[in-house]
C-alpha cells in the first residue's frame, strides 16, 4: 500500500445534491420541495411534536408519576447477601468493597429476604422491622 493509492471505501463518498440548477438536473424549479406550503418556504418548518395547531399528544396526556433524583444514593441489602458475605462486622465501606451496593450509595437498609445464620454487627446501616428481628435472633446487633 502506498499513500498515493489510498482511496475511501466504495460508496463512502457521494456528490452533494445540487438543487435549483435547471431542468436538466432533475431538481430544477421547485428543487424537490413540491408546490407551496410551509415545507416549501425557506426557514419554514415545525417543531418536534407539532400537529398543525391541534393540541399535541404529549400535552393531551395527563402528567403522571415522579422519580426522586435522590434514589441513586439509596441501596438495599438482603439477609441472604449478609449471610453470604460472612463478615462479623458490616458497615457501608464493607458493602461497597464487596460490591453489594453501588459506589454512590449513602443510605443502606437491610431487608428481610432469605435467611441469616451468622451473628452480624451492623454499624451505620438501617434495617426493616422484620430484618432487625432476624438479625437479633441470629445473635447480631444494630448500631
3-state secondary structure 27-62: CCCCCCCCCCCHHHCCCCCCCCCCECCECCHHHHCC
Domain membership of residue 50 (yes or no) is yes
Q: Which long-range contacts (CB under 8 A, 24 or more apart) does 8-16 make?
A: none
Question: Taking the CB of residue 134, how many other CB atoms lie within 10 A of it?
Answer: 20
**Which pTM value belongs to this model?**
0.56
Domain membership of residue 8 (yes or no) is no
Average predicted confidence (pLDDT) for the chain? 94
Domain membership of residue 108 (yes or no) is yes
pLDDT attached to residue 119: 93
Domain membership of residue 36 (yes or no) is yes
Q: Which of 31, 118, 48 is nearest to 83 (CA)?
A: 118
Burial environment of residue 105 by CB neighbours within 10 A (0 to 12, 13 to 18, 19 or more): middle
Q: Are residues 31 and 87 in the same domain?
A: no
pLDDT attached to residue 97: 94
Cα 103 versus chain centre, distance? 17
What is the Cα–Cα distance from 135 to 131, expressed in whole angstroms?
6
CA distances from 137 to 37, 85, 119, 132, 141 (A): 77, 18, 9, 8, 9
pLDDT at residue 87 greater than cutoff 90: no
- Quick one: what percent of the chain has pLDDT higher than 70? 100
pLDDT at residue 143 greater than cutoff 90: no
What is the Cα–Cα distance from 117 to 121, expressed in whole angstroms?
13
User: Domain containing 133: what range?
Assistant: 71-142
What's the pLDDT tens digit per position in 94-120? Answer: 999 999 999 999 999 999 999 999 999
Q: Are residues 80 and 137 in the same domain?
A: yes
pLDDT at residue 86 greater than cutoff 90: no
Tally of domains in the chain: 2
pLDDT at residue 137 greater than cutoff 90: yes
Domain membership of residue 135 (yes or no) is yes
Q: Are residues 78 and 135 in the same domain?
A: yes
Q: Are residues 58 and 107 in the same domain?
A: no
Amino acid at each position: 500500500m502506498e499513500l498515493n493509492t489510498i482511496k475511501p471505501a466504495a460508496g463512502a463518498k457521494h456528490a452533494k445534491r445540487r438543487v435549483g440548477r435547471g431542468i436538466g438536473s432533475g431538481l430544477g424549479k421547485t428543487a424537490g420541495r413540491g408546490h407551496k406550503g410551509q415545507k416549501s418556504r425557506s426557514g419554514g418548518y415545525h417543531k418536534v411534536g407539532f400537529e398543525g395547531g391541534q393540541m399535541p399528544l404529549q400535552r393531551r396526556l395527563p402528567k403522571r408519576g415522579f422519580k426522586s433524583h435522590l434514589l441513586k444514593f439509596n441501596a438495599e441489602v438482603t439477609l441472604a447477601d449478609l449471610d453470604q458475605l460472612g463478615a462479623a462486622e458490616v458497615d457501608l465501606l464493607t458493602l461497597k468493597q464487596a460490591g453489594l451496593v453501588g459506589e454512590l450509595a449513602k443510605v443502606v437498609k437491610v431487608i428481610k429476604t432469605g435467611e441469616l445464620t451468622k451473628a452480624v454487627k451492623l454499624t451505620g446501616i438501617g434495617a426493616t422491622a422484620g430484618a432487625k428481628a432476624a438479625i437479633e435472633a441470629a445473635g447480631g446487633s444494630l448500631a
